[in-house]
A and B are shown apart, each in its own frame.
Chain A
Amino acid sequence: MSSRSLLSGIKPFPLFLESCKRLAPWALARNPVMMVVAIGTVVTFAFALWHYSQGLPWRLEMVLFLILLATVLFANGAEALAESRGRAHANSLRATRQNLTARRRGANGGIDEISADALRRGDLIEVEAGELIPADGDIVEGAATINESAITGESAPVLREAGTDNSGVSAGTKVLTDRIVIKVSNDPGDSLLDRMIALVESAKRQRTPNELALSVLLAAMTLIFLVVVTALVPMGDFLGAPLSVPLLVALLVCLIPTTIGGLLPAIGIAGMERALRANLVAKSGKAVEVAGSIDTLLLDKTGTITLGDRRATAFLPLPGVEQSALREAACLASFADPTPEGRSILTLALDQGTTVAANEHADFIEFSAHTRLSGADLPEGRQVRKGATDAIRRFVEEQGGHYPRTTDGLVEQVASKGATPLVVAENHQVLGVIALSDVIKPGIRERFARLREAGVRTVMITGDNPLTAAAIGAEAGVDDVVAEATPERKLALIREEQRKGRLVAMMGDGTNDAPALAQADLGLAMNSGTQAAKEAGNIVDLDSDPGKLLEVVEIGKQLLITRGALTTFSLANDVAKYFVILPALFVVALPNLGALNLLELHSPDSAILSAVLFNALIIPALIPFALRGVRVRPGSADATLRRNLLIFGLGGLLLPFPAIKLIDLALAWML
Chain B
Amino acid sequence: MKEVALIYLVTLGLAWPLGRYLSWLFGERFISPGIATVENGLLRLAGVNPNAGMSWSDYARALLKLHLLLAIVIFLVLSMQQWLPLNPDHIPNMSWDLALHTVISFLTNTNQQHYSGQAQLSYFAHTLGIVTLQVVTPAAGLATLVAILRTLFSNTQPGETVSVGNFHRDLLRSVLWVMLPLSLITSLLLASQGVPSTYQGATEVSTLQEGTTQTIPLGPVAAMVAIKQLGTNGGGWFGPNSSVPLENPTFFSNLVETSALMLIPMALVFMLGFMARRHRLGWCVAGVMLGLSLVSTSLNVFSERQPNAAVAVTGIQGPNMEGKEVRFGTDLTALWGSWTTQTSNGSVNGMHDSFNPLGGMSELMNMFLNVTFGGIGVGLIGYLLFMFVAAFIGSLMIGRAPSFLGRPLETREMKLASLALLLQPILILGLTAITLAVPGWAGTSNPGPHGLSQVLYEYTSAFANNGSGFEGLGDDSVWWNLSCALALMGGRFIPMLAPLAIAASLAGKRPSAQSRGTLNVDTPTFAVLTLGVIVLFALLSFLPALVLGPIAEALRA
State whether the Cβ of A232 lies closer than 8 Å to any Cβ in chain B: yes
Which residue on chain A has the smallest CB distance to residue B406?
Answer: A501
How many residues on the A side are at the interface (Cβ–Cβ under 8 A)? 76
B398 touches A561 (CB 8 A): yes
Name the B residues within 8 Å of A233 (CB-CB): 433, 437
From B168-176, B182-190, B275-283, B516-524, the one touching the partner chain is B516-524
Count A/B pairs, Cβ under 8 Å: 216
- State in angstroms the CA–CA spacing of A590 and B547 once bound together: 11
Q: Convert B413-453 into 0s and 1s, putting 1 for each residue whose CB lies closer than 8 angstroms to a CB of A.
A: 11101110110011001101110110000100000110110
Chain A residues with Cβ below 8 Å from B425 are 224, 227-228
Complex interface: stretch among B21-29, B94-102, B301-309, B538-546: B538-546
A238 with B436: CB separation less than 8 A = yes
Identify the closest chain A residue to B536 (Cβ). Answer: A571
**A596 on interface, CB distance cutoff 8 Å:** yes
Whether the pair A561, B396 counts as a contact (CB closer than 8 A) is yes
B-contacting residues, A409-431, CB 8 Å: none
**Contact B410 A213, beta carbon cutoff 8 Å:** yes
A216 near B: Cβ within 8 Å?
Answer: yes
Q: Are A642 and B544 closer than 8 Å at their CB atoms?
A: no
| Interface presence of B528 (CB below 8 A) | yes
A227 and B426 form a contact (CB under 8 A): yes
A212 to B552, CA, bound (A): 40
> Taking A561-B397, A586-B548 as contacts, is the C-beta distance between A210 and B402 under 8 angstroms?
yes
The reply to whether A213 and B394 form a contact with Cβ atoms under 8 Å apart is no
- Say if the beta carbon of A666 comes within 8 Å of chain B: no
Asked whether B272 is an interface residue with its Cβ less than 8 Å from the other chain, the reply is no
Interface residues of A in 481-497 (CB under 8 A from B): none
Q: Identify whether the interface residues of B are mostly helix, strand, loop, or mixed.
A: helix
B397 contacts A640, C-beta separation under 8 Å:
yes
Q: Separation in Å of the A453 CB from the closest CB of chain B? A: 7
Give CA–CA (A638, B394) in the complex, Å: 10
The A-contacting residues of B in range 524-557, CB under 8 angstroms, are 525-526, 528-529, 532, 536, 539-541, 543-545, 547-548, 551-552, 555-556
Q: Looking at the complex, which one of B399, B414, B525 makes contact with A213 (CB distance below 8 Å)?
A: B414
Chain B residues near A575 (CB, 8 Å)? 536, 539-540, 543
Instruction: State which of A105-113, A135-143, A399-407, A562-570 sits at the interface with chain B.
Output: A562-570
For residue B539, which residues in chain A have a CB less than 8 angstroms away from its CB?
A: 575, 578
> Which residues in A have their C-beta under 8 angstroms from that of B513?
295, 500-502
Contacting residue for A560 out of B400, B430, B520, B528, CB 8 A:
B400
Whole-angstrom distance between the Cβ of B538 and the nearest chain A Cβ? 11
Known: A295-B515, A454-B517, A564-B397. A641 touches B529 (CB 8 A): yes
Question: Is the CB–CB distance between A568 and B392 below 8 Å?
Answer: no
Residues of A with C-beta under 8 A to B410 = 209-210, 213
Decide if B50 is an interface residue (CB 8 Å cutoff). Answer: no
The residues in A between 617 and 671 inclusive whose CB is less than 8 angstroms from any CB of B are 632, 636-638, 640-642, 644-645, 648-649
B512 and A596 within 8 A (CB): no
**Chain B contacts for A223, CB-based, 8 A:** 422, 426
A230 on the interface (CB 8 Å rule)? yes
> Per a CB cutoff under 8 Å, which of A220, A227, A229, A593 touches B418?
A220
A578 and B529 alpha carbons, distance in the complex (Å)? 21
Bound: A214/B517 CA distance, A = 21
Nearest chain-B residue to A210 (Cβ)? B401
Q: Quick one: which of A227, A235, A239, A556 contacts B399, CB cutoff 8 A? A: A556
Interface centre among A233, A568, A595 (most CB of B within 10 A): A568
Whether the pair B396, A453 counts as a contact (CB closer than 8 A) is no
Best-surrounded residue of B392, B401, B418 (most CB of chain A within 10 A): B401
Q: How far is the CA of A592 from the CA of B433 in the complex (A)?
A: 22
| Contact B398 A640, beta carbon cutoff 8 Å | yes
Known: A503-B512, A592-B552. A641 touches B397 (CB 8 A): yes
| CB-contacts of B500-518 with A (<8 A) | 510-513, 515-518
CB of B393 within 8 Å of the partner chain: yes
Contacts of B426 in A (CB 8 A): 223-224, 227
Interface residue A289 (Cβ < 8 Å from any Cβ of B): yes
**A374: Cβ under 8 A from any B Cβ:** no
Whether A255 is near chain B, meaning CB under 8 Å from some CB there, is yes
Residues on the B chain within 8 Å of A596, using CB:
547, 551, 555
CA distance A595 to B512 in the complex (A): 51
Chain A, Cβ-Cβ closest to B437: A234
User: Contacts A212-B411, A593-B547 hold; do A567 and B552 have CB atoms under 8 A apart?
Assistant: no
Residues of B within 8 A of A574 (CB): 540
User: Is the Cβ of A289 less than 8 Å from the Cβ of B401?
Assistant: yes
Q: Is A39 an interface residue (CB 8 A)?
A: no
Q: Are A453 and B516 in contact (CB under 8 A)?
A: yes
CA distance A46 to B60 in the complex (A): 48
B543 lies within 8 A of A582 (CB)? yes
Kindly state the separation between the CA atoms of A587 and B422 in the bound complex, as whole angstroms: 29
Smallest beta-carbon distance A652→chain B, Å: 10
> Per a CB cutoff under 8 Å, which of A289, A578, A592 touches B556?
A592
A362 to chain B, nearest CB (A): 57
By beta carbon, the residue of chain A nearest B419 is A220
Give the chain B neighbours of A232 by CB distance below 8 A: 544, 548
Q: Within 8 Å CB of A455, what residues of B?
A: 515-518
> Residue B545 contacts which of A231, A453, A638 (CB distance < 8 angstroms)?
A231
- Decide if A216 touches B415 in the complex (CB within 8 Å): yes
Instruction: Please tell me if A306 contacts chain B, counting CB pairs below 8 Å.
Output: no
Contact of B512 among A230, A237, A501, A648 (CB under 8 A): A501
A501 to chain B, nearest CB (A): 4
Pair B516/A239 contact, Cβ less than 8 Å: no
CB distance from A270 to the nearest CB of B (A): 15
- Take A213-B402, A224-B422, A237-B437 as given contacts and tell me if A590 and B552 are in contact as well, using a CB distance cutoff of 8 Å: yes
Q: Which residues of B contact A104 (CB under 8 A)?
A: none
- The interface residues of chain A lying within 8 Å CB-to-CB of B430 are 227, 231
Q: Give the residues in chain A near B389, CB-CB below 8 Å.
A: 217
Q: Determine the residue in chain A with the shortest Cβ distance to B389.
A: A217
Interface string of A538-574 (1 = CB under 8 A from B): 0000000000000000001111110111011001101
Q: Is the CB of A292 within 8 A of B401?
A: yes
Which residues, 351 to 388 on A, are CB-close (under 8 Å) to B? none
A217 shortest CB reach to chain B, Å: 5
CB pair B540 A637 closer than 8 Å: no
Q: Of A229, A293, A644, which one neighbours B400 at CB under 8 angstroms? A: A293
Question: What A residues does B395 contact at CB under 8 A?
Answer: 560, 564
Residues of B within 8 A of A632 (CB): 399
Chain B nearest CB from A493 CB (Å) reads 15
Expressed in whole angstroms, the minimum distance between the Cβ of B157 and any Cβ of chain A is: 9
Q: Taking A228-B425, A567-B396 as contacts, is the C-beta distance between A637 and B414 under 8 angstroms?
A: no
A237 lies within 8 A of B436 (CB): yes
CB neighbours of B419 from chain A (8 A): 220
B409 interface hit (Cβ, 8 Å): yes
Name the residue among B411, B449, B510 with the largest chain A CB count within 10 angstroms. B411
On whether the beta carbons of A560 and B396 are closer than 8 Å, the reply is: yes
Task: Report Cα–Cα, A153/B539, bound state, in Å.
Answer: 54
Give every chain A residue within 8 A of B526 (Cβ-Cβ).
638, 641
Is A501's CB under 8 angstroms from B396's CB?
no
CA distance A421 to B467 in the complex (A): 84
A-B contact pairs, 25 of them (CB 8 A): A210-B410, A213-B392, A214-B392, A216-B414, A225-B540, A231-B545, A233-B433, A234-B437, A293-B401, A293-B512, A295-B512, A502-B513, A557-B400, A560-B400, A563-B396, A564-B395, A564-B398, A567-B396, A572-B536, A575-B543, A578-B539, A578-B547, A586-B548, A595-B555, A596-B547
Closest 4 CB pairs of A and B: A455-B517, A564-B396, A557-B399, A220-B418
User: What would 13 more interface pairs be, CB under 8 Å, given A214-B392, A564-B394, A578-B543?
Assistant: A216-B418, A228-B541, A231-B430, A234-B436, A292-B399, A452-B516, A501-B511, A503-B512, A567-B396, A593-B547, A593-B555, A637-B518, A641-B519
Q: Residues on A close to B: CB < 8 A?
A: 209-210, 212-214, 216-217, 219-221, 223-225, 227-239, 255, 289-290, 292-293, 295, 452-457, 500-503, 556-561, 563-565, 567-568, 571-572, 574-575, 578, 582, 586, 590, 592-593, 595-596, 632, 636-638, 640-642, 644-645, 648-649
